[in-house]
Amino acid sequence: MKIRVLHLIKSLNRGGAEILLTEGLRFADRDRFELSYAYFHPKIDALVPTLSQQGVEVTCLGGENHVGMLARAPLLARHLRDRRIDLVHCHLPTAGVVGRLACRVVGVPVVYTEHNKPERYRRPTFLLNRWTYEMQAHVIAVSDSVRESIEAYIGARVPVTVIRNGVDAPSYLRTERERAAVRQRLGIADAAIVVGNVAALIPQKRLHDWIEAARRVCAMLPRAQVRFLLIGDGPERERLLALVAKNGLKDVVQLCGIHPDVRPFLAAFDIYMMSSAFEGLPVALLEAMAMRCVPVCTAVGGIPEVIVAGENGYLTPPGRPDELAARVVELASQPDRLSRLGTAARRTVSDDFRIDTMVASIEQLYLDVLQRAPGASAPSHSARVAMPI
């Protein structure tokens, strides 16, 4: 009998955790595991067709905010019982809380991936997360930095294993056709240096620093020589557009919105610049590096576990747009170095951040958790507690 695993997440728009689910499914051992997916927010579902086309069940539980999600715990418990789920893998904090509460009722073990640093969550989310943390069997941290944060701020007696994020590097190949098509569509000269980022437009990303770095670069280089592209959307969009206008950057900085496939844009980028205040281990960064974009990023979270300064990119302190700008100018004036670091960036991802390795490690962890479960040398549906919901 296959082991039934349910992935539980808040929503299914394009984000790092969500992309790991859709991409990871392609590398799953479907002979051993029967995977299904559940999410809460009914209007944030862009990746549902991508999952459904791979022949798995995807269920929307409803709940457009944290209170609504918490109220769905009884519905989730019934879903687990009806589908005879053996293990639930939760992603992101509120989904983690709901999953732990429901699984405690029906006696299903929980694995939880911590995609970010717990102390960065809003206070109510942090407290609920910490309160329920020991209601799970195992935690996956996406970087050493995240593991250290769990130990410092949660301190729960739950095993934590670092399994770093990965991408399918062979599917991220820069092509001249895509590069030329995007640049032509956006009116960017072939010789221009394109600096890009793929990000939710939220305070965590400190995109005002990103725009300030762009302003400084434009003060040091001819404006025709450089362009800045920001792919994504979010609550900061209008503020960022106002900053672009205020700094006279409309001709060099473009906010391009959300795109389901970012690979053509990555093909058009030369430099991938991140200004984040904190991160776990950004999937978009790995995707960009796989496409030979040279990373120039703030040294936060798991990013220094990917970038070796001067070898496959550059690191700067957070809150220093002047240093981001200096590195961009340096690379723009040294095309040979730009090419060499881009090659090294791709090699880093191809060698050390492979999604097939990530998926295999997670599946082995599932087996270990189920082996340790009380009275379960193999998954046993009859051993579960059947409490009323």
Express each pLDDT in 17-54 by its tens digit: 999 999 999 999 999 999 999 999 999 999 999 999 99
Global confidence as pTM:
0.92
Express each pLDDT in 192-228 by its tens digit: 999 999 999 999 999 999 999 999 999 999 988 999 9
Q: Which residues pair with 244 in a beta bridge?
A: none
Side chain identity at residue 67, one-letter code: V
Nearest CA-CA partner of 209 in 277, 298, 275 = 275
How far apart are the C-alpha atoms of 96 and 341, rounded to whole Å?
A: 38
CB atoms within 10 A of CB 322: 12
pLDDT score at 376: 52
pLDDT score at 85: 98
How far apart are the C-alpha atoms of 213 and 322, rounded to whole Å?
A: 6
Joined together, the tokens standing for residue 369 give 């958790």
Q: Is the dihedral of CA 40, 41, 47, 49 positive or negative?
A: positive
Instruction: Considering only CA atoms, give the Rg of the chain.
Output: 22
The mean per-residue pLDDT over the stretch 245-257 comes to 96
Residues 6+ away with beta carbon under 8 Å from 165: 16, 20, 142, 280, 281, 282, 283, 286, 353, 358
pLDDT score at 381: 38
The mean per-residue pLDDT over the stretch 4-9 comes to 98
Counting other chains too, the contacts that 73-76 makes at CB distance below 8 Å and 24 or more residues apart are: 73/98, 73/101, 73/102, 73/105, 74/102, 74/389, 76/8, 76/38, 76/102
How far apart are the C-alpha atoms of 3 and 85, rounded to whole Å?
A: 8
pLDDT score at 378: 43
Question: Domains in the chain, ordered, with CATH?
Answer: 3-166+354-372 (3.40.50.2000), 169-352 (3.40.50.2000)
DSSP 205: G
How far apart are the C-alpha atoms of 319 and 298, rounded to whole Å?
A: 8
Asked whether residue 377 carries a pLDDT value surpassing 90, the answer given is no
How far apart are the C-alpha atoms of 37 and 160, rounded to whole Å?
A: 23
The mean per-residue pLDDT over the stretch 140-148 comes to 96
CB 204 within 8 Å of CB 298: no
